[in-house]
Amino acid sequence: MTGTHAFCWGGMDLITQETEVDPLLHNCLEPILVGNDREVPFTPDSGPYTLTDKLTALGFDLTRAQVEEVLDRSRELMADGGRLLTDEDLAALAREAR
């Protein structure tokens, strides 16, 4: 596979945590070597760890209860809308949870 999603390994918590421990666990080279970035999308399979990492990167520091609230609401929106949520969507949900 090539292109912008070549280093995108889904957003399951297991994958998210594994790449934090060993960035090369699922890739044989660093994406930057070929002008790409590693992506961890937020998907319906994502859990609280992936969401917490994503929200932290967006500048939010939510409690566990707030993360669960955002997680539940985001899954509802993805199911209803039939699409993945953007960082902006997640940020809006995080602001509502405060």
Q: Is 86 within the bounds of a domain?
A: yes
Q: What is the pLDDT of residue 35?
A: 80
Q: Is 69 within the bounds of a domain?
A: yes
Q: Is 5 within the bounds of a domain?
A: no
Domain count of the fold of the chain: 1
Q: Is 3 within the bounds of a domain?
A: no
Q: What is the pLDDT of residue 30?
A: 78
pLDDT digits (tens, 9 = 90+) for 14-28: 566 666 767 776 677
Q: Is 23 within the bounds of a domain?
A: yes
Q: Is 7 within the bounds of a domain?
A: no
Burial (CB count within 10 angstroms: exposed 0-12, middle 13-18, buried 19+), residue 45: middle
Query: Which residues are within 8 A (CB) of 77 and not within 5 positions of it... i.e. 6 or more apart?
Result: 85, 89, 93
Does the pLDDT of residue 86 top 70, yes or no?
Answer: yes
Q: Is 24 within the bounds of a domain?
A: yes
Q: What is the pLDDT of residue 64?
A: 96
pLDDT range class, residue 1, cuts 50, 70, 90: low
Q: Is 6 within the bounds of a domain?
A: no
pLDDT digits (tens, 9 = 90+) for 27-82: 777 777 888 777 778 889 899 998 999 999 999 999 999 999 999 999 999 999 99
